[in-house]
Structure 1
Amino acid sequence: MAHPRSLLPLRFLYFPCSALAEVIEQLSVSSFVDGLRDPEISQLVRLARHKTISEALAQALEIEAAKQASRGTSKIRQVKAYHGNDRMETANGNLADIIIEVVEKYKKGQDSENPTMNRRRRIRCWTCDVEGHVKSRCPQPSTEQNQGNAN
């Protein structure tokens, strides 16, 4: 909460001198509560319906201090330490086996037993139905282009 004290002298600048002091104070309290970042603190201060901004500020500071004090307790998790390289050797052994498997699959042709991969590799022209090139690179003239130019 960085702004509450800065609101005190500025609150009289925004309202005319003829306004009632209660209205000014209530609007100041409302602006202060609306500016609180923590929604829980804002809700508790709003429900208290303070008459002055100093009362609202005092309660907000008390709630924030209580929340920070209760936040200090945290659960500590148990940690198990491994001595020696037994665990590391096991992890490195498993990692080496996995790497060997991946390299073997790559050498076999990147999963050549998978039929969808083989289907994707073949390029066939839609015009002449010959493998090896696409329609835009077809050496034979397209019949669609000739029909389109006839108009």
Structure 2
Amino acid sequence: MAMKIACWTSIKKIVKLEAREPIAISSSAHTHCTSAAKLDVPRFDGTSSWTAFKYQFETLVKTNRWDDEQSFAALTLALRGDALLVLENLPSDGRTLERLMEGLDTRYGDKHLEHVFRAQLRDRTQRPNESLQQWGVEVERLVRRAYMSMTPETVEVNLVQAFIDGLRDTEVRATVRLGHHQTLKSAMAHALEVEAVRQDSRTHRVREVVVSPSVQPRQREGVVSSSAKSRYIPTCYGCGEKGHIRTDCPKRKRGSVDSGTQVNEESLN
């Protein structure tokens, strides 16, 4: 706390003096203020990603301008749990930053597991409930671990190939393959476009089926619809009146149908 206060006090003095005349700040004063405002090193116990922690640690070393001795001290204090065993197993005369980083790389790094990740990559395809974006993230995770010793160009080629080969939809896979993409980003954008077009096409076809005024199959078979039935009024062939059929004709039942009607009935029968 006293160091931070001293640092901020010196900075304020420098700002006031700069208003009067230019002043050169010594390298020792700059280093002192930088170390006072250093960033904390995250903790590592072996259960989280060593690759991610290593990247964070190297970034802090560069930002804080630590030398090997300061970096070794900071890394030692950051270790927790099983990760401390790596420090304990170092020989007393070989406890250096380089040896400690090598020990952690050997135990928690992914370089010696490349064949394992390649086997996982061969057996992995896009799952039914997995979106294209999720599939792309999973492919990148596996490929970058399976080909850590390869050049960035080779890794990118394998990224594109693995992404396309693992696509669940055969039509999307064939279309994207014809694009001859050079990057995973380009291949994924093409796959998303093809999927969107297909979805829009399916929606359009469903809309046409629902809205289409074509004759229904039951009407083609001669089945009269309910609306047609409500408009139909039967005509009696006996008396010529509407509202009933000949078999239900009241005049026929009463025997009052005239001769002309009887003749018509006989001719019809």
TM-score, normalisation: structure 2? 0.28
Which of the pair is proportionally richer in helix?
2
Question: Which has the greater radius of gyration?
Answer: 2
TM-score, normalisation: structure 1? 0.48
